[in-house]
Structure 1
Amino acid sequence: MSDTAFWDRAAPKYAKDPISDPAAYAATLGRMRHYLQPDHSVLELGCGTGSTALELAPGVRTYLGTDVSSGMIQIARGKLTDDMPADLNFAVGPANEIPAGDFDAILALNLLHLLPDLEAVVDKIYAALPAGGLFIAKTGLLKDGAWFLRPLIPLMQAVGKAPFVRRLSEQELRDLLGGAGFEIVEDIVQTGLAPRMFTVARKPA
């Protein structure tokens, strides 16, 4: 099963599942609101069903969310109402295809560890941003998590219960962003069985 098919099939359940750690989500949402400005044009790669886009779009000039799954995007579009910002849009597209546009910030939330072509995607994000542009990510750190998750995920993948997952450590993620040319200006590591690292990186001026 392709990852696209996996996420299309998972979309209805994904949309109904509650946020696993509301406090951690609220904390990083607040940090993103701190960095995103009213005149910013924002691209969110891997936007899923659009929940975070709906939270952040009122505070910026334009917001485009893309996802490889048409099922996810269909649900995201269904959340749009007349009182939503006019410049909030959703489109189907893989993370390795950056839409045309002048984006001040690019977001990849709970996405990077799901990309087989991670290095190439990060390089494309860097190239798409202007000098001083922001790259904000939240990334799973499987290598730093509970040991039993490592053999469990391949078993789940074998029966179609999990997509591709990259085994990353905190240091590997830092090295990846730095190697692409980004400067990390803030990071928060959220610990647990499956730790995640929230990063705000900037393309140097």
Structure 2
Amino acid sequence: MDLGFRGEVADFYHQFRRGYPSAVIDSLVGSFGLTSDDVVVDLGCGTGQLALPIADRVRSVVAVDPEPDMLIRARRAAAERGQANLSWMIGSDVDIPALGALIGDRRLAAVTIGQALHWMGHEELFRALTLFLRPGGGVAVVTNGTPLWLQDTAWSRALRGHLEDWLGTKLTSTCGTDEADQRRYRDSLTAAGYEIAVTTVDYTDELTADQIVGGVYSALPVDRLPSLDQRPHFAERLYHVLQPHSPFTEQVRVTTLIGRVA
């Protein structure tokens, strides 16, 4: 699976993708009763925004992503934090049965998926995981706010107009954060036999124009990323359309959809 999030996009991702409030990690620990004896899989781990803080609370984390460059950057981040209890695996949701067989039946405490489920076959994934999750364990689908260009603010609408003009296409994908997708995920978890719970954490953030530019770069596949010689013009135009709408305040809602097995 080549999603195009490689090369320098991995560095943008690491620098500009926001992490998760500590309350979100606390909620995951409490929901699954995670302890220092547990193994967690972070599927679609990116550069470790969820995997690294979870690793502080469990025995080990297996971080899985289809992009080698994401894993390389995440592994460097773990080393910088002095964390040695993470394993890095090139793979995707279709590799979960093989990984589960390696860990063992009913041995896995949890699988976390941080705003990456829209790339996966969620129905098949949820069913496959029931074979490997320990009692009280489960799946956590974590959405880290609405994409920057789809929010209900003047600066977000200005950003969306600029991006649609630059890319020559309408931007409609919510990356699984909208209510319709969340409902589909809940229904699929229920159909696969999970008990459902939902938690939310709300906070306010204020972005700089440079953070918005970096956030855009982190979300573009490498073949859509403005070239080095185009970037000054891209950023200058974006600063121009954003400036009348400062400050760039963002209301972030982190929603965690929990599916637990008996």
Do they superpose with TM above 0.5?
yes
Q: Which residue of 2 aligns with 1:130?
A: 134
Specify the structure having the higher radius of gyration (Cα): 2
Aligned to 1:111: 116
After superposition, the Cα gap between the structure-2 partners of 1:171 and 1:162, relative to the gap in structure 1 and judged at 3 Å, is closer
Identity %: 22
Deviation at 1:180, TM superposition (A): 1.3
CA contact (8 A) 2:42 2:50 kept: no
Equivalence for 1:36: 34
Change (3 A) 1:118 1:69: same
TM-score normalised by L of structure 2:
0.60
Whole-angstrom CA distance in 2 between matches of 1:134 and 1:14 = 27
RMSD: 3.5
The amino acid of 1:201's aligned partner reads G
The answer as to 2:239 corresponding to 1:181 is no
**Paired letter, 2:116:** L
**Cα distance change on mapping 1:119 and 1:82 into 2, 3 Å:** same
Matched ranges for 1:28-177 at <5 A: 28-34=24-30, 35-81=33-79, 84-98=82-96, 99=99, 100-101=102-103, 102-115=107-120, 117-139=121-143, 165=175, 168-177=180-189
The alignment's TM-score, normalised by the length of structure 1, stands at 0.74
Q: Distance in 2 between matches of 1:74 and 1:97?
A: 19
What amino acid maps onto 1:47 in structure 2?
Answer: C
State how far apart, in whole Å, the 1-side matches of 2:175 and 2:78 are. Answer: 30
Cα distance in 2 between the residues matched to 1:90 and 1:57: 12
Higher relative contact order at CA 8 Å, sep ≥6: structure 1 or structure 2?
Answer: 2
Q: Displacement, 1:80?
A: 3.0
The structural deviation recorded for 1:141 is 9.0
**Number of paired residues?**
191
Q: Which moves more between the two structures, 26-35 or 182-191?
A: 182-191
Q: Which of residues 23, 30, 35 is equivalent to 1:27?
A: 23
SS in 1 for 2:130: helix
Counterparts in 2 of 1:7-26, with a 5 A limit? 7-9=5-7, 10-19=9-18, 25-26=21-22
**Separation of aligned partners in 1, 2:118 and 2:28:** 20
Question: What stretches of structure 1 of length at least 5 have no aligned partner?
Answer: none
4+ residue runs of structure 1 moved beyond 4 angstroms?
145-149, 155-159, 161-167, 189-196
Report if aligned partners of 2:38, 2:58 keep a CA contact under 8 Å in 1: yes
C-alpha distance in 2 between matches for 1:73 and 1:163: 25
Task: Give, in angstroms, the shift of residue 76 of structure 1.
Answer: 0.9
2:259 alignment partner in structure 1: 201
My pick for the range that moved more, 30-39 or 52-61, is: 30-39
Query: Which stretch of the first structure deviates more once superposed, 59-68 or 128-137?
Result: 128-137
Q: Aligned letter for 2:55?
A: A
Unpaired stretches in structure 2, ≥5 consecutive residues:
204-249
Deviations 1:125-181 (CA, angstroms, capped at 9, x unpaired): 223213332222214798xx76999xx7xx79987x999945644332221211111
**Alpha-carbon shift at residue 47 of structure 1 (Å):** 0.9
Q: CA deviation at 1:193?
A: 8.2
Shift of 1:7: 1.7
2:241 alignment counterpart = none
Q: Do the aligned partners of residues 193 and 84 (structure 1) sit closer, same or farther apart at CA in structure 2, a change above 3 Å counting?
A: closer
